[in-house]
């Protein structure tokens, strides 16, 4: 079997903007969490559950999407402060776009802001948004081979949420294999298998989030 290599496009223009954003938010005591995954991995359901469970924290959400407001409507229905960002076809958020969204949202009187990035396992991993923590979601139906195929996302993430664990009986997903593959790419990644539907595993993730906010 032949293997050929084609050109790569690299963009790292926005690292300075990201560092400034990160420092400004830290000075205000606001933790920014960048949430990334494939389309349909359950980001919004996972976020909704987290918002409900952590009602003692002041949480807000920035929903990035190419089009539609379906996700932001779901979050707003929970009573959380939220803003919809339309990327106009763009496949990721960068620091400039995140800064604009933060300005629209307002950062006063908040503990944690989630950026729900565009559903994409590739491009968002290449751009520093200014977040303090990068969290990725991989859902059980997507398969345990994803670390092999999208390594950068796993390398760039502080946390791997394995979602839709309630669907495990119906899919050929090997949790241990997935865990090994992720840890081989990134030995420091924290892995939380969860079901946002049943609530299983959510507490461990939520404790991690509380700690990350306190250690900011």
Nearest-CA neighbor of 142 among 119, 125, 114, 123?
Answer: 119
Q: Which stretch binds its own copies (CB under 8 A): 12-20, 48-56, 137-145, 198-206?
A: 137-145
Q: Does 174 bind its own copies (CB under 8 A)?
A: no
Does residue 203 touch its own copies according to CB under 8 A? Answer: no
As given in the structure block, the two tokens for residue 130 are: 């200014």
The DSSP line for 151-210 is HHHHHH-SEEEEE-GGGGGGS---HHHHHHHHHHH-TT-EEEE--TTT-TTHHHHHHHHH
Q: Which of 113, 109, 141, 118 is closest to 21 using CA atoms? A: 113
Quote the Cα angle for 142-62-76, to 5°. Answer: 95
Distance (Å, whole) CA 114 – CA 60? 6
Q: Does residue 170 bind its own copies (CB under 8 A)?
A: yes
Q: Which of 14, 34, 82, 117 binds its own copies (CB under 8 A)?
A: 82
Among 87, 107, 208, 210, binds its own copies (CB under 8 A): 87
Would you give the binding string for its own copies spanning residues 42-81, x where CB under 8 A is met? -----------------------xxxxxxxxx--x-----
Closer Cβ to its own copies, 33 or 72, answer by number: 72
Interface residues with its own copies (CB under 8 A) are: 1-10, 38-40, 65-73, 76, 82-91, 96-97, 100-101, 104-105, 118-123, 126, 139, 141-143, 145-146, 148-152, 164, 167, 170-171
């Amino acid at each position: 079997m032949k293997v050929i290599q084609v050109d790569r496009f690299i963009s790292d223009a926005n690292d300075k903007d990201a560092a400034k954003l990160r420092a400004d938010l830290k000075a205000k005591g606001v933790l920014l969490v960048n949430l990334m995954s494939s389309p349909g991995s359950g980001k919004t359901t996972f976020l909704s559950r987290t918002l409900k469970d952590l009602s003692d924290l002041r949480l807000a959400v920035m929903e990035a999407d190419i089009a539609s407001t379906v996700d932001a409507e779901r979050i707003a229905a929970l009573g959380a402060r939220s803003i919809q960002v339309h990327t106009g076809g763009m496949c990721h958020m960068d620091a400039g776009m995140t800064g604009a969204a933060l300005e629209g949202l307002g950062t006063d009187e908040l503990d944690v802001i989630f950026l729900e990035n565009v559903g994409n396992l590739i491009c968002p991993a290449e751009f520093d948004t200014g977040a303090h923590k990068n969290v990725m979601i991989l859902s059980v139906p997507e398969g345990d081979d994803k670390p092999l195929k999208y390594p950068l996302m796993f390398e760039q993430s502080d946390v791997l949420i394995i979602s839709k664990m309630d669907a495990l009986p119906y899919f050929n997903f090997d949790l241990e294999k997935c865990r090994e593959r992720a840890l081989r790419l990134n030995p420091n990644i924290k892995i939380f298998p969860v079901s946002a539907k049943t609530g299983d595993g959510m507490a461990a993730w939520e404790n991690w989030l509380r700690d990350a906010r306190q250690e900011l």
